[in-house]
Structure 1
Amino acid sequence: MTRPATPEDVEAICLSLPEVELGISWGDRPTYKVPRGGKGRGFVLYRKPHKTAVDPETGEEYDDLLVIHTPTEADKLGLVAADGPFFTIPHFNGYNAVLVQQSRLGEITVEELREVIEDAWRAVAPKRLVREFDDGDA
């Protein structure tokens, strides 16, 4: 049985993937990176409130945004076009990533969230690590 995704699932999914650590990027933002250490690349980031992402109804800056890397522009556009919580903003034009409010994660299942996060991980993880993961060795 599938269940709605929660903010806690983000951490569980990210840390279940090989060689992932919670580090810092964009100056001070908690970011899940792969591989561990200085060469890690971010694939899920907790974005601080910013004037570039506001609730269209209230004008308030979103305070619970995640930035999730996408493998390609087509993947990004597919997620945004789907009937779900993912969106983008002009600030992210030319950058392969989607935004999602943590408070809206329940609009998708844990399995759907896992697929989006695994795709993000695959897009930035070293090819060797992805091969090992796919072969069940990681």
Structure 2
Amino acid sequence: MPRSEIRDGSPLARVRSLCLAFPGTEQRESHGEPCWFAGGKKTFVMAAQEHHDDRTAIWVAAPEGVQTALVAAEPERYFRPPYVGHRGWVGVYLDVDDIDWPHVEELVEDGWRGVAPKRLLAALDAT
């Protein structure tokens, strides 16, 4: 399966649904992987399907300090991703048996809110 494909029913398909639920979000391929963009411009979640290792994960834009806290507390679930980790992004493993979906949902929303234009933030908050 090419890295850019997402199997229905997979954890990555659930992430796709979470991301596309936000107003003005688009999915496009970047570096051979599915990525989600707020307002069509800024990436807030990137898929990593065995891209740099044999794991399936997502990389999420995160507020300052979140990455450090999560990686220190639960390194079996969270990691510092290559390329964007120095900017505070957090990696979330999707190939674990017990994904903490409520927390993943929070991380995805925080990532989206961190890069979305004001008009899209207002649209989400109005619903």
Deviating more after overlay: 62-71 vs 115-124: 62-71
- Is contact 1:7-1:105 (8 Å) kept? no
The answer for the alignment partner of 1:49 in structure 2 is 51
- Unaligned residue ranges in structure 1 (runs of 5+): 51-60
1:21 maps to 2:13: no
Listed one character per residue, the Cα deviations across residues 80-129 of structure 1 (whole Å, up to 9, x for unaligned) are 23336111157555222111222127331x22211110001011111221
More strand by share: 2
What is the RMSD of the two structures over their aligned residues, measured on CA atoms?
2.4
Instruction: Specify which structure has the bigger relative contact order, considering alpha-carbon pairs within 8 angstroms and separated by 6 or more residues.
Output: 1
| Higher Rg | 1
The answer for the alignment partner of 1:12 in structure 2 is 17
The 2-side partners of 1:126 and 1:105 are apart by 35
The 2-side partners of 1:112 and 1:66 are apart by 13
Q: What is the percentage of aligned positions where both structures have the same residue?
A: 27
CA change 1:131–1:107 in 2 (3 A) is same
The answer for the alignment partner of 1:129 in structure 2 is 120
The answer for the alignment partner of 1:54 in structure 2 is none
1:33 Cα deviation after fit: 0.8
CA change 1:133–1:107 in 2 (3 A) is same
Q: 2:37 aligns with which of 33, 37, 59?
A: 33
The answer for the alignment partner of 1:99 in structure 2 is 91
The answer for the alignment partner of 1:53 in structure 2 is none
- Is contact 2:12-2:47 (8 Å) kept? no
The 2-side partners of 1:12 and 1:127 are apart by 22
- Unaligned residue ranges in structure 2 (runs of 5+): 1-9
The runs of at least 4 consecutive aligned structure 1 residues that moved more than 3 Å come to 89-93
Listed one character per residue, the Cα deviations across residues 45-78 of structure 1 (whole Å, up to 9, x for unaligned) are 112522xxxxxxxxxx234131111122x12222
1:30 Cα deviation after fit: 1.4
In the superposition, the TM-score normalised over structure 1's length comes to 0.70
CA change 1:6–1:87 in 2 (3 A) is same
- For the residue of structure 1 that corresponds to 2:17, the secondary structure is helix
- For the residue of structure 2 that corresponds to 1:18, the secondary structure is coil
> How many equivalent pairs are there?
116
- For the residue of structure 2 that corresponds to 1:104, the secondary structure is coil
